[in-house]
Structure 1
Amino acid sequence: MFKILLVCALVGLAAAYPGQLDDVNAEVISRSEDIRPDGFNTHLEISNGIKEDRAGDEHGNIRGSFSFDTPEDEPVEISYIADENGYQPTGAVLPTPPPIPVEIQRALEWIAAHPYNGEH
């Protein structure tokens, strides 16, 4: 029974994403890796449109970008920094937080201007 369910799930997945199966036949167009004591640079380009570039330093900081096309043929580009502040991606497709309401912004500014000194 489990095998039948698994086969049905795989068939359903293949039917839902027909374009994704073409990625199985994708080939590497170009690839380079330069690893040094003071950092690294890598580049990867695949025939299905996926591209990635990364550069890192001896401190573990990494700057990079990657791009691909969605199944609807919309381009997606993401740039990122990964350092002591964590992973910080940027790109037009990423959601952005809503603006802070004026009242909350005023409260935050007041709190910053009047630090708590331990007295009541």
Structure 2
Amino acid sequence: MKYAIVFAALFAVALAAPLDDPANAQVLRYDNDNIGVDGYNFAVETSDGKSHQESGKVKNLGPDDTPITVTGSFRYTGDDGQVYEVTYTADENGFQPSGAHIPQA
């Protein structure tokens, strides 16, 4: 009898699990336009509302310095139901994010 109660409880929990679990997200779009010596581009979007776009380009400052300049953005829905979006640049000056929810100096 104990096993039947435990089984019924576990079955009820499984039925109550949210269908929009991030672990079950499907890839809706994946673009990988260019990966080469000079840089790359990609974009991905999933069924749970997340998206990410990014491009990187080699920036030639001289014979010894060849940093990559990366620009991109990502978007997701937080636990509070609000959609957050971050745009960023990463280069020889470091990672520089911006978004409405990120405090400015």
Give 1:11's aligned residue.
Answer: none
More displaced, 57-66 or 84-93?
57-66
> What does residue 28 of structure 2 align with?
29
**Matches of 1:47 and 1:73 in 2, distance apart?**
15
Shift of residue 61, structure 1, vs aligned partner? 0.8
The alignment status of 1:78 with 2:80, answered yes or no, reads no
Equivalent in the alignment of 2:70: 62
| Partner SS state of residue 57, structure 1 | strand
Higher strand proportion, which one?
2
Amino acid in the other structure paired with 1:23: P
What's the offset of the Cα at 1:53? 0.3
Q: Which residue of 1 aligns with 2:40?
A: 40
- Tell me how far 1:80 sits from its aligned partner: 0.2
Highest RCO, 1 vs 2 (Cα 8 Å, sep ≥ 6)? 2
User: Which residue identity lines up with residue 73 of structure 1 in the other structure?
Assistant: G
AA in 2 matched with 1:91: G
- Cα distance in 1 for partners of 2:21, 2:103 equals 29
1:93 shift after superposition:
0.7
- Percentage of matched positions with identical amino acids: 34
Distance 2:37 2:90 in 1: 19
Q: CA deviation at 1:96?
A: 2.4
Aligned length: 79
Deviating 4+ runs (over 6 angstroms)? none
TM-score calculated relative to the size of structure 2: 0.69
Matched, 1:52 2:52: yes
CA displacement, residues 51-101 of structure 1 (integer Å, 9 cap, x when unaligned): 00000002311000000111221110000000000000000011223xxxx
User: Structure 2 regions of 5+ residues with no counterpart?
Assistant: 1-16, 60-67
